[in-house]
Amino acid sequence: MSGEAENTVEKQGRCLCGKVTITAKHASNDVGACHCRMCRRWGGGPFMEIDCGAEVVIDGEDSVSVFDSSDWAERGFCKNCGTHLFYRLKQTGQHMVPVGLFEDSPSLEFKGQVFIDERPGYYEFANKTKNYTGAEIFAMFASS
């Protein structure tokens, strides 16, 4: 889920303990949710994120640990407090950052859900969003 250029702003967020700060130069105001099994295992529920693009500055990198989670992506977290910091695409450096790292903002809007076909039956969001299956997402990335 990528934010459109006119819908981006600079945002700064931090982990729970404050040892890691993330500054995203072009963070989207569009919130997305990933329901894939890996994201749900990583965080215990859907991954609620904003696309922060590739222009991301991480202060406190000595407190960041990166897990190589697939052939195409890696996940970062704070070594001290365990806060999830990003899901990063290896090829482009695009960062999907948990929306909770940033201050709440009235400009944030829940826009889309991916891997909707992997969403378990025990929850469902009431928001009207664009929904994509895993196959649809992989097809979009393949055509990029």
Domain interval for residue 96: 5-143
CA angle 71, 76, 77 (to 5 degrees): 145
Name residues whose C-beta falls within 8 Å of residue 12's C-beta, 6 or more positions apart in sequence.
21, 22, 23, 24, 102
Domain count, the chain: 1
Instruction: Enter the tokens of residue 33.
Output: 């949710």
Percent of the chain with pLDDT over 90: 89
pLDDT of residue 140: 84
R_g (Cα) of the chain, nearest Å: 14
Q: Phi first, then psi: give them for residue 61, nearest 5 degrees.
A: -60, -25
Give the domain CATH number at 43. 3.90.1590.10
Give pLDDT tens digits for 70-117: 999 999 999 999 999 999 999 999 999 999 999 999 999 999 999 999
Alpha carbon distance 114, 1 (integer Å)? 8
pLDDT of residue 141: 74
Please determine, for residue 40, whether its predicted confidence score (pLDDT) is greater than 70: yes
pTM of the model: 0.91
Nearest to 16, CA basis, from 79, 81, 97, 98: 81
In which band, very low, low, confident or very high, does the pLDDT at 32 lie, cut at 50, 70 and 90?
Answer: very high
Give pLDDT tens digits for 77-90: 999 999 999 999 99
pLDDT of residue 4: 47
In which band, very low, low, confident or very high, does the pLDDT at 138 lie, cut at 50, 70 and 90?
Answer: confident
Coil, helix or strand at residue 77: strand
Alpha carbon distance 140, 20 (integer Å)? 32
Please determine, for residue 143, whether its predicted confidence score (pLDDT) is greater than 90: no
